[in-house]
Amino acid sequence: MSTGRASACSRAERLGLAACLLLGSAPALAASARYRCEVFYLPARSTWVRSVEIEHDDRRVRALHIDGVAVYGFAVDGAVIRTALDNERIALDTESLSWQSDFRGLARAQGRCERE
């Protein structure tokens, strides 16, 4: 048999724990960063303007879109985001605002980006 005081204490602890779990699992507010990159491709010697949108919260990158196409696999290494889209391996450096990519060694590209 339990006393009223012990039940109230354990109930308060349970409520406190539930509040901590609810507050701790609350989703962080998402933000979006947009970049416009002018990329020069060799050996074609052509310049393409590429658009990049990075959806993130304060803890991680949540989604990545290149030219409006969702990229499902990417790796974040500090300020560099690496991904692939249509056989193009892409490295976007958000700190130095640069783009580097290659098409499996057949063509290469590099360029500069501006944050919109």
Residue 103 lies in a domain: yes
Residue 14 lies in a domain: no
Residue 36 lies in a domain: yes
Look at the chain and report how many structural domains it folds into: 1
What pTM does this model have?
0.72
Dump pLDDT digits (tens) for 85-97: 999 999 999 999 9
Residue 35 lies in a domain: yes
Instruction: State which residues form the domain around 59.
Output: 31-115
Residue 47 lies in a domain: yes
Check pLDDT > 50 for residue 33.
yes
Listed in sequence order, the residues at least 6 apart from 11 whose beta carbon sits closer than 8 Å to its beta carbon are: none
Residue 11 lies in a domain: no
* Maximum separation of any 2 CA atoms in the chain, in Å: 84
